[in-house]
Amino acid sequence: MLGAGSWGTTFAKILADGGADVVVWARRPELAREIQEAKRNSDYLPGVNLPVGLRATSRLDLALDGAEQVYLSVPSQSLRENLKNAEAHLNRNAVIVSLMKGVEKASGRRMSQVIAETLPIDTDRIAVISGPNLALEIAKQQPTAAVVASTSLETAQAVATVARNGYFRSFVNTDVIGTEFGGVLKNLIAVAIGIVDGVGYGENTKASIITRGLVEMTDFAVAYGAQPETLAGLAGLGDLIATSQSPLSRNNTAGRLLGQGYRLPDVVDQMQQTTEGLASVGPVLELAKAKGVEMPIVEQVRQVLAGTLDPKDIAPHLTTDDEPQGERNTDGQAQGGSAVRRAFKRAFDQLRDGGRRAPRDRP
């Protein structure tokens, strides 16, 4: 496990509790020592006891020695540099698994794309994991689930077999794009929810943003090749609900501070942990523009971050124009409809068929 923050340490515990032999790499020797000797990570997971068999080191060569599966949980902006440092020590046949939920700011690349560009590796040996996974809840062994996606179902299954235990269930699919973008995009909607929470708006506003946010997430991801069903599953809707509702979410917290009137530099100062959404807004809107996808909620988040939109003016109707007839202003049973409605219809049809066709996230 490369990365000893809240998610890296929690996921290492998931793997170790499932019976795997796990070594965590922490860049700070003192943190590696605390995990190795005291079985604690008091900076990131206060009060949590880590498995006795979990090992830790600040030496990359030792952490990667003989590793069959390498899990990555560092901030997205640092991945490329970390992979370059790790490359010489990687086992040639290792499966590389991204746990990250950001895009690279400079290139707009997803993490699996950064991995494929940086390492000499077949994409079939890359997997990504995403889902409703607030680290501290899982570290306390509260049950949850996630999606393991890889272009190779065999790789996804190999990872899912290891990344599961009594409190953590891994489903598999082959939609890497949808699974990764689900994690990236829900962060942005969670910032929006935090903003309106901070302003003091109530449940109707938040429900509107969650629902219309899912439309934006799905339209965007589908434009880049995702399966709409993925966005209706754990890595989309599931994670959106968890992140939008929880004060444990860093993205939600950052949004709430913005809604309370703090300016971005003060918010960044107050955030002790990685807040991927703040770096993803710009690249996501660039990518949306390139495909002609409208993202009015994400655009409003950008404007609040830039200080050009008063948080209280976030439009509850969440459209880009005042034209009531357009596709963007339709919802539910309206004609046309976006990918998210088609996804729900297809999921509903599958249920009505008595589950003869497999749902996307397969156990």
Ligand X SMILES: O=C(CO)COP(=O)(O)O
Binding residues for substrate, by number, are 101, 250-251
Among 73, 150, 230, 243, binds ligand X (CB under 6 A): 243
Q: Sign of dihedral through CA atoms 110, 112, 116, 120?
A: positive
CB of 180 to ligand NDP, least distance (A): 11
Backbone angles phi, psi at 271, to 5 degrees: -75, 120
In the chain, alpha helices (H): 6-17, 29-33, 60-64, 79-86, 111-118, 135-139, 153-162, 176-199, 203-223, 228-231, 239-245, 250-259, 264-270, 276-291, 296-306, 339-352
Residue stretches of the annotated binding site = 3-8, 27-28, 44, 101, 131, 135, 186, 239, 249-251, 276
The entry of ligand NDP, ligand X, none near residue 132 (CB within 5 to 8 angstroms by kind) is ligand X
Contact call for residue 125 and ligand X (CB under 6 A): no
The entry of ligand NDP, ligand X, none near residue 239 (CB within 5 to 8 angstroms by kind) is ligand X
Tokens (6 digits) for 179: 């699974």
Q: What is the dihedral of CA 225, 295, 207, 260, to 10 degrees?
A: 130
Active site residue 39: no
Q: How many CB atoms lie within 10 A of CB 61?
A: 11
Q: What is the dihedral of CA 79, 76, 60, 126, to 10 degrees?
A: -70
Residue nearest to ligand NDP (CB): 5
Contact call for residue 7 and ligand NDP (CB under 6 A): yes
Question: Which span (8-16, 114-122, 243-251, 256-264) binds ligand X, by CB under 6 A?
Answer: 243-251
Residue stretches of the annotated binding site for sn-glycerol 3-phosphate = 101, 131, 186, 239, 249-251
Q: How many CB atoms lie within 10 A of CB 58?
A: 18
Contact call for residue 71 and ligand NDP (CB under 6 A): no
Contact call for residue 139 and ligand X (CB under 6 A): no
Would residue 355 be called left, alpha or beta, if left means φ above 0 and alpha means ψ between -120 and 50 degrees? left
On whether the CB atoms of residues 219 and 276 are closer than 8 A, the answer is no
Task: Tell me the number of residues near ligand NDP by CB under 6 A.
Answer: 27
Near ligand X in 323-352, by CB under 6 A = none
Task: Tell me the number of residues near ligand X by CB under 6 A.
Answer: 14
Among 16, 50, 99, 279, binds ligand NDP (CB under 6 A): 99
C-beta of 171 vs 201, nearer to ligand NDP: 171
List, in order, residues 6 or more apart from 72 with CB less than 8 Å away: 2, 3, 79, 82, 83, 96, 97, 98, 99, 100, 111, 115
Q: Bridge partners of 119?
A: none
166 three-state secondary structure: coil
Active-site residue, selected from the candidate residues 140, 186, 206, 312: 186
The entry of ligand NDP, ligand X, none near residue 243 (CB within 5 to 8 angstroms by kind) is ligand X
Among 112, 274, 280, 338, binds ligand NDP (CB under 6 A): 274
The one-letter code for the residue type at 225 is: G
Where are the strands (E) in 185-312, listed by range? none
C-beta of 197 vs 276, nearer to ligand NDP: 276
Site string for ligand X, 182-201 (x = CB under 6 A): -----x--x-----------
C-beta of 162 vs 240, nearer to ligand X: 240
Q: How far is 263 from 197, CA to CA, in rounded Å?
A: 16
Contact call for residue 133 and ligand X (CB under 6 A): yes
C-beta of 28 vs 345, nearer to ligand NDP: 28
Question: Which span (256-264, 273-281, 320-328, 334-342) binds ligand NDP, by CB under 6 A?
Answer: 273-281
Active site residue ranges:
186
